[in-house]
A and B are shown apart, each in its own frame.
Chain A
């Protein structure tokens, strides 16, 4: 299905949006690291332990937030990379059983004589199977469960 909806979903995460988010995340991470570094300096110098402690905590929280945002962003990119599915018809010869796979064309159904001729024996040809290739959901779940890619 190459529906317009697939395109719609992709538009949701535009390049500009992503770049802005990325810049913010990098800025946050840099600031957090700076805070942590300053707090370490303060503690080393024995100055104002209270302040340094808070700086340290703030820095850690900032880093965690940046990490989380980054994880969210990669997931966003993954989900937007959803490919339009490809529907195929397997056509089979009525007489000799010779079969071939090709793109589905509108109006075809399982059991329909297509009017084409078998390249092997010239017999009539019908649609034996119609299905989509891929199975992205399955593969994702197998990955989550740590199983090999194919059953």
Chain B
């Protein structure tokens, strides 16, 4: 198009001028030809530069997250040198998804692999921070997971960068270059999350457990499944069983397991399972927007979601979900004020839903899904005097 327009124009101008415009004309054509040839190469060079910059950024993110982990862990027993050696050895940890060619029992096999992985992580973190308490260990585990994730992303981007460089294949380079903004956004979220988990600050993803904690409103809680607690409150005469993972360490727990056990315990009396979780917002949607829907709101790799769907379908229980919208970055970094207020809104909407749709005497489960970092298990209530102070501080992160 451009070339044709230039052609037309230059031939028009040619008729106006004389003599040495000919030379100009030829130079122009040559210039166009050369540009055509080099434009592709130039484009590749520009893209390679983009990727190289991103790679540098990813390397910085990874090493900073790693240093943050080492520094934090060094407070609990081991020397920095020893720690950096061990973390470097563990950084390339991987998990292999179970085969789904024969889908029967794939969920059970996946759950087993995830159990083993979690156990392996716990053992490793305990070995690098022998003097840390349980909650601190969980936060360190989350930090470690961030380091592993960042390292993995860095290696993949580096792979395609070097492959592109070696082969000069435009497709390799174009593919990775186009994904870079998204990759960097996610990497940034993991990099920033290191600080939140290090300090034990609630993150955006903690909104589910936060809703559960506030709904519990000081009720007694006890453990019902691995790393999951529950307590009972009364909402307008309906019995509400509130489930959350055990805080204030960064745990996810097994809410599916817990809900399954509660359904077994209460027989057919459970009318509904209401789940609350953080959900990725679309760009332009407001952080802290609350949406209601149906289905199991939980972002686990599969097993917990499957258990909840299974038990709800088997017993004919309503499966209702509330989602609090936020960006991936906000989900992994300290909770914003909007999300904190959204927790209050979710609670009032849950109460409304329970009081309008279910009868007094019905039993309803409310599950706050997400990482419970920085969110405790009970809110201290008034009129109990000072004796509680010592008792309830036992869970404090070091």
Q: Which residues of A contact B (CB under 8 A)?
A: 1, 3-5, 8, 48-51, 53-54, 85, 87, 94-96, 104, 106-113, 115, 123-124, 126, 128-135, 137-138, 141, 145, 151
- Taking chain A's interface residues, is the majority helix, strand, or loop, or is none over half, making it mixed? mixed
* A131 contacts B335, C-beta separation under 8 Å: yes
Is B363 located at the chain interface by the 8 A CB criterion?
A: no
Q: Which residues of B contact A131 (CB under 8 A)?
A: 202, 334-337, 339-340
* Known contacts A87-B201, A145-B284: A110-B376 contact under CB 8 Å: yes
Q: Which B-chain residue is minimally distant from A5 (CB atoms)? A: B64
Residue of B13, B287, B392, B396 touching A53 (CB-CB under 8 A):
B13
Residue of A85, A112, A123, A133 touching B248 (CB-CB under 8 A):
A112
Given contacts A94-B381, A110-B247, 7 further A-B contacts (CB under 8 A): A8-B64, A110-B375, A111-B247, A112-B393, A128-B379, A135-B338, A137-B327
Is B154 located at the chain interface by the 8 A CB criterion?
A: no
Q: Tell me the smallest distance from the CB of A34 to a CB of chain B, in Å.
A: 20
* B16 contacts A49, C-beta separation under 8 Å: yes
Binary contact track B13-51/A, C-beta < 8 Å → 1, others 0: 110110001001100100000000000000000000000
* A109 contacts B380, C-beta separation under 8 Å: no
Q: Which residues of B contact A94 (CB under 8 A)?
A: 380-382, 384
Binary contact track B178-207/A, C-beta < 8 Å → 1, others 0: 000000000000011011100111100000
Q: Tell me the smallest distance from the CB of A48 to a CB of chain B, in Å.
A: 7
* A137 contacts B330, C-beta separation under 8 Å: yes
Q: Which A-chain residue is minimally distant from B344 (CB atoms)? A: A129
Residue of B17, B340, B379, B398 touching A111 (CB-CB under 8 A):
B379
The 10 closest A-B pairs by CB, nearest first: A111-B376, A109-B248, A1-B195, A131-B340, A50-B21, A132-B334, A131-B337, A109-B374, A95-B382, A126-B380
How many Å lie between the Cα of A112 and that of B249 in the bound state?
13
Q: Which A-chain residue is minimally distant from B31 (CB atoms)? A: A54
* B383 contacts A95, C-beta separation under 8 Å: yes
* A48 contacts B21, C-beta separation under 8 Å: yes
Q: Which residues of A contact B161 (CB under 8 A)?
A: none
Q: Which residues of A contact B17 (CB under 8 A)?
A: 48-50
* A110 contacts B199, C-beta separation under 8 Å: no
Q: Which A-chain residue is minimally distant from B24 (CB atoms)? A: A50
Q: Which residues of B contact A87 (CB under 8 A)?
A: 199, 201, 334
Residue of A4, A53, A133 touching B64 (CB-CB under 8 A):
A4
* Known contacts A1-B195, A3-B192: A132-B397 contact under CB 8 Å: no
Is B389 located at the chain interface by the 8 A CB criterion?
A: yes
* B375 contacts A109, C-beta separation under 8 Å: yes
Residue of B333, B374, B392, B398 touching A130 (CB-CB under 8 A):
B374
* A3 contacts B68, C-beta separation under 8 Å: yes
Residue of A5, A85, A96, A137 touching B61 (CB-CB under 8 A):
A5
Q: Which residues of A contact B194 (CB under 8 A)?
A: 3
Q: Tell me the smallest distance from the CB of B63 to a CB of chain A, in Å.
A: 10
* Known contacts A48-B17, A115-B389: A8-B195 contact under CB 8 Å: no
* A113 contacts B393, C-beta separation under 8 Å: yes
Q: Which residues of A contact B61 (CB under 8 A)?
A: 5
* B380 contacts A113, C-beta separation under 8 Å: yes
Q: Return 28 A-B CB contacts under 8 Å, by A number.
A: A5-B192, A8-B60, A48-B17, A50-B21, A85-B334, A95-B383, A104-B201, A106-B199, A107-B398, A109-B374, A109-B376, A110-B210, A111-B213, A111-B248, A113-B380, A124-B388, A126-B380, A130-B334, A130-B335, A130-B374, A131-B202, A131-B337, A132-B334, A132-B337, A137-B287, A141-B283, A145-B284, A151-B286
Q: Which residues of A contact B21 (CB under 8 A)?
A: 48, 50-51
Q: Tell me the smallest distance from the CB of B275 to a CB of chain A, in Å.
A: 20
* A106 contacts B200, C-beta separation under 8 Å: yes
Is B258 located at the chain interface by the 8 A CB criterion?
A: no
Is B386 located at the chain interface by the 8 A CB criterion?
A: yes
How many Å lie between the Cα of A106 and that of B381 in the bound state?
23
Is B329 located at the chain interface by the 8 A CB criterion?
A: yes
Q: Which residues of B contact A151 (CB under 8 A)?
A: 286
* A54 contacts B24, C-beta separation under 8 Å: yes
* Known contacts A1-B195, A50-B14, A135-B337: A110-B380 contact under CB 8 Å: no
Q: Which residues of A contact B84 (CB under 8 A)?
A: none
Q: Tell me the smallest distance from the CB of B163 to a CB of chain A, in Å.
A: 26
Q: Tell me the smallest distance from the CB of A24 to a CB of chain B, in Å.
A: 17
* A109 contacts B247, C-beta separation under 8 Å: yes
Is B378 located at the chain interface by the 8 A CB criterion?
A: yes
Is B74 located at the chain interface by the 8 A CB criterion?
A: no
* B287 contacts A135, C-beta separation under 8 Å: yes
Is B377 located at the chain interface by the 8 A CB criterion?
A: yes
Q: Tell me the smallest distance from the CB of B199 to a CB of chain A, in Å.
A: 5
